[in-house]
Amino acid sequence: MKPAVFRSTLGVSAIVLALAGCLQEGGAISPSHAANGSAPPVVAPAAAPAASRYGLPDFSALVEQVGPAVVNISVTQKVGRGDATAGEDPFADDPFYDFLRRFGVPVPGMPGNGGGRRMPEQIQQGVGSGFIVSADGYVLTNAHVVDGATEVTVKLTDKRDFKAKVVGVDKRTDVALLKIDATGLPFVKTGDAERSKVGEWVVAMGSPFGFENTVTAGIISAKARRLPDENYVPFIQTDVAINPGNSGGPLFNLAGEVIGINSQIYSRSGGFMGISFAIPIDVAMKVKDQLQKYGKVSRGRLGVTIQGLDAELAQNFGLDKPAGALVASVENGSPAAKAGLAPGDVVLGVNGQKVDNSADLPRIIGEQKPGSVVRLSIWRDRKARDINVTLGEQAGERLAASGSPEGKGDNTSGKLGLTGRALTAQEAARLGVPGGVVVEGLGGPAAKAGLQPGDVILGVNNQPITGIEQFRKLLDAAGNRFALLVQRGGSRIFVAIRLG
């Protein structure tokens, strides 16, 4: 089985960063849903493991206490559904079809032989891990575990299983919140990831390769690791054995407190090689609170491009050490521009919180509420000063033509053939609507129906749109004929869509 989904390649040594997560049957990794549970009403923090007669820690008591709150997540995803569209050749990779085509042999259903071909619906299944964070059935896992899943099942250690609802996902931090219909469940206690120390023992629990309730242990190797293309998560690095299926599972300290969510690994082969990464629990819980309350995560926005400082740059700017985020450019009309921030400024702190590294600034600003006023401590012309900035809102998830954010495909709106993004809170307030999707690119049925770039889709069959995920669900439920409510300029119109 293919053990991991490769996120990025690092260097000529072919070391790759892989999602630790979901193990898909049939040789590929698929997204999944989560959550269910029941057992002792509360999982109490465990006592520090007793040393064995060999001087090594014994984790058995810890596992007995926290284990019931750890769940196995299985997911189902349907792919390949629908008719082949124009320009799409479902036989492209079929050598037998290529042979027949070369010799001009007609085959029913092949492109050019009249009529379309109904693409067979395929079922992909995957597994991941998660843990219960409240007695009323809320479960945390990784976003990549449930991405694109059509059905999610959570199994408890007492063998009960539940269908789970995906409350919300945040792909920027790779955190997802699930809900199962149960009460009185055992749940974990969260710890303080900031107080954890490099070298201390930690324990992971999950379902590597589908083997449920597997326990592995190791130490914290480093903290605040910055990974490629990751701006919001200061990862905890460990040497705990993490493999496909472990994604979304908890990382415990010796007090039985969750300090992280196991998420990624470095690997040459896709399997464990001694370097694993976990999302700090404080980052995950901030995301969880927003997902539970709003169904999405809103982040503050400055509107600047930044870079790091080395010793030589710091000396040139008159700083005594290379700390802070150097502003390389400022977007016109952005919150930063309106506040007077300029290229060459060095941001040293936000509301009294130090910016030691340039990578700290996106995370700190992102944690602020859009519309809030923050005090930036900056270095300009070899002097320190403070300026106040009223933050904007970062653009929400984008809807790709394949139907999923940033091109990670599922099958919910590829049939519609559009790309777009969610309305920001300010845009929605200006239009007086709960949400919508701004059309950015068109093709297929959406273009044929007359949709235009810049249109804002506000509803499907009179059902208002509140976000990207809900838009996909409305499209799934709408069938092959439906009407979209569209804001175009200063007027609203209905646009009829017919698929197939």
Give residue for tokens 């130090």.
Answer: 354
Q: Are 323 and 384 in contact (CB under 8 A)?
A: no
32, 74, 170, 174: the active-site residue: 174
HSE-CB of 497 using CA atoms within 13 angstroms: 26
One-letter amino acid of 173: T
For CA atoms 455, 458, 462, 463, give the dihedral sign: positive
207, 247, 276, 402: the active-site residue: 247
32, 129, 144, 207: the active-site residue: 144
Q: Are 460 and 484 in contact (CB under 8 A)?
A: yes
Alpha carbons 315 and 145: distance in angstroms, whole number? 45
Q: Is 33 a catalytic residue?
A: no
Within 10 Å of residue 7's Cβ, how many Cβ atoms? 17
Q: Are 451 and 418 in contact (CB under 8 A)?
A: yes
Q: Is 192 a catalytic residue?
A: no
Alpha carbons 177 and 164: distance in angstroms, whole number? 10
Alpha carbons 429 and 434: distance in angstroms, whole number? 8
For CA atoms 121, 127, 132, 135, give the dihedral sign: positive
Q: Are 196 and 236 in contact (CB under 8 A)?
A: yes
Alpha carbons 480 and 415: distance in angstroms, whole number? 9
Helix (H, G, I), strand (E, B) or coil at 498: strand
Alpha carbons 246 and 285: distance in angstroms, whole number? 19
Active-site residues, by number, are 144, 174, 247
